[in-house]
């Protein structure tokens, strides 16, 4: 029974963190220079 | 991982296999990890190469950081910044300008005012600090770079939209670090030229100070 609970908690953490990524209250300021490529390299790690 | 916790859970009639070495598995994990890390880092290197390759038409703008604020120096019509030296820095010459260098005569000094940039015109920030480590950072521009006393570090960018942006110091520099703010305003060409015309050159400033029987004194920008 215990492994089943731990497995469910793990799945919940993954789902919650991905959901938080999309619904978090923080956002990037709109880029104002030619360095939009820097944003792309960060998005890539996601 | 969740699946493994469930799949390989303890069961009375099951025993773990002792397998301390598996060359094939280890090599595969090594290669997959290596390729994964390289794939994440390589695009960053491509951007970094652009970041350190300054276009020839980028206008140099000197940013001088101090505890706790920003000063700027722009080249005059010659497009060249005059030379500076640490040994020239004093209360009357906070930029440390070499008055004998002809290139410095038409340099525009912005002390205590906002920096204006022209939209779609590349600029190269040449960064100096007169005291401790600082870092010139405008979040909307993305780029930033440490400013190291005794060195001129640099980066370049092209503003792509007009607006009013906040400059932050991004390297802890003492008790006033949090308040070390400034403003950068990106203008259309006409607005930029109007601002530029209001800035004072070193030569005019020295002449005026001489006339007023003052030593070197920077006039605060009223912008």
pLDDT per position as a tens digit, B52-101? 999 999 999 999 999 999 999 999 888 888 888 888 887 777 788 888 88
B26 belongs to a structural domain? no
B94 belongs to a structural domain? yes
Give me the residue label for tokens 């390759």: B53
Does the predicted interface ipTM exceed a cut of 0.95? no
pLDDT per position as a tens digit, A12-29? 999 999 999 999 988 888
**The whole model's pTM is what?**
0.81
- Cβ-based contacts of B115 with chain A (< 8 Å): none
CATH number at residue B115: 2.60.40.420
- The dihedral through the CA atoms of B211, B215, B220, B221 has a sign that is positive
B134 belongs to a structural domain? yes
B164 belongs to a structural domain? yes
Structural domain of B63: 59-211
Closest chain A residue by Cα to residue B123? A33
B24 belongs to a structural domain? no
B5 belongs to a structural domain? no
Angstrom distance (rounded) from CA B143 to CA B37: 23
Phi-psi region of B162 (alpha: psi -120 to 50; beta: other; left: phi over 0): beta
Answer whether B3 touches A (CB < 8 Å). yes
Q: How many domains does chain B have?
A: 1
Answer whether B11 touches A (CB < 8 Å). no
- Cβ-based contacts of A36 with chain B (< 8 Å): 142
B2 belongs to a structural domain? no
């Amino acid at each position: 029974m215990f492994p089943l609970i731990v497995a469910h908690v793990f799945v919940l953490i993954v789902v919650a963190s991905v959901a938080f990524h999309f619904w978090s209250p923080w956002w990037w300021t709109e880029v104002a220079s030619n360095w939009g490529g820097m944003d792309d390299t960060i998005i890539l790690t996601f | 991982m969740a699946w493994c916790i469930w799949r390989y859970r303890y069961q009375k009639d099951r025993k773990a296999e002792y397998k301390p070495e598996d060359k094939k598995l280890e090599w595969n994990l090594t290669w997959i990890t290596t390729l994964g890390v390289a794939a994440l880092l390589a695009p960053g290197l491509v951007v970094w190469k652009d970041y350190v390759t300054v276009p020839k038409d980028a206008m140099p703008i000197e940013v001088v950081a101090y505890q706790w604020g920003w000063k700027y120096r722009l080249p005059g019509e010659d497009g060249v910044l005059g030379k500076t030296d640490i040994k020239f820095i004093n209360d009357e010459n906070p930029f440390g300008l070499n008055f004998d260098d002809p290139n410095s005569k038409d340099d525009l000094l912005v002390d205590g005012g906002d920096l204006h940039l022209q939209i779609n015109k590349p600029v190269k920030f040449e960064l100096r600090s007169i005291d401790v480590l600082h870092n010139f950072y405008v979040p909307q521009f993305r780029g930033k770079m440490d400013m190291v006393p005794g060195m001129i570090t640099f980066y370049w960018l092209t503003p792509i939209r007009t607006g009013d942006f906040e400059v932050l110091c991004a390297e802890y520099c003492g008790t006033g670090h949090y308040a070390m703010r400034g403003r950068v305003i990106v203008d259309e060409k006409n607005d930029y030229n109007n601002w530029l015309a209001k800035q004072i050159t070193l030569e005019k400033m020295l002449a005026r100070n001489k006339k007023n029987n003052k030593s070197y004194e920077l006039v605060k920008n009223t912008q």
